[in-house]
C-alpha cells in the first residue's frame, strides 16, 4: 500500500501580480508569509520502513526556498528570465516549485503553496478528470 508523506517549508517574500486589473489590491506590491509543502507518494522501503528521508527533501528544496526568501519574487523572475516567477501567483509558484524538483525527488506527487492561512494552491502533473 503506497504512503504519502509531506514536508513543509516557510519563506517570506514580496510580490505583485501584473495580470490583475488596475486598481486590484494584488496588483500592488505586497508580502506574504508563504508556506510550501512537498508531497511524495510511493512504497516505503521494506528494510528501512521509509519512503524518502525528510532530510533529503530538505536538502533538495533548501536552495529554492533561499532563492525566494526575503526577495521580491517578480525581481527573481526577471533575473532568471522565468515567466512563472514574473507573474508569481500561487498557481505559478506551485508549478515552478514542482518543475524545479520533479527530477530530484523520486515520487514527487504535488506541491502546495499557501499564500495565506486560508488560501492555497496544489499543483501536480495529473488530476483526476471530472465527469
pLDDT band at 131 (very low <50, low <70, confident <90, very high): very low
Q: What pLDDT does residue 130 have?
A: 47
Interval 3-30 mean pLDDT: 96
DSSP assignment, residue 72?
Answer: B
Q: What pLDDT does residue 128 have?
A: 52
Q: What pLDDT does residue 126 have?
A: 74
Which sequence spans correspond to the domains of the chain? 3-123
Is the separation of the CB atoms in 88 and 74 below 8 Å?
yes
- Does domain 3-123 fall under CATH 3.30.479.10? My reply is yes
Q: pLDDT per residue over 83-129, tens digit each?
A: 999 999 999 999 999 999 999 999 999 999 999 999 999 999 875 55
pLDDT band at 20 (very low <50, low <70, confident <90, very high): very high
Q: pLDDT per residue over 38-92, tens digit each?
A: 999 999 999 999 999 999 999 999 999 999 999 999 999 999 999 999 999 999 9
Residues carrying an active site annotation: 26, 70, 115
Q: DSSP letters along 37-71, please?
A: EEEEEEPPPTTT--SS-HHHHHHHHHHHHHHHTTS
Amino acid at each position: 500500500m503506497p504512503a504519502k508523506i509531506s514536508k513543509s517549508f516557510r519563506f517570506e517574500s514580496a510580490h505583485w501580480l501584473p495580470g490583475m486589473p488596475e486598481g486590484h489590491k494584488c496588483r500592488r506590491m505586497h508580502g506574504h508569509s508563504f508556506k510550501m509543502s512537498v508531497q511524495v507518494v510511493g512504497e516505503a522501503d521494506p528494510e528501512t520502513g521509509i519512503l524518502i528521508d525528510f532530510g533529503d527533501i530538505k536538502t533538495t528544496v533548501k536552495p529554492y526556498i533561499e532563492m525566494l526568501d526575503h526577495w521580491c519574487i517578480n525581481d527573481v523572475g526577471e533575473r532568471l528570465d522565468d515567466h512563472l516567477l514574473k507573474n508569481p501567483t500561487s498557481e505559478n509558484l506551485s508549478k515552478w516549485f514542482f518543475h524545479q524538483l520533479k527530477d530530484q525527488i523520486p515520487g514527487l506527487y504535488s506541491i502546495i503553496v499557501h499564500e495565506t492561512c486560508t488560501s492555497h494552491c496544489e499543483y501536480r502533473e495529473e488530476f483526476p478528470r471530472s465527469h
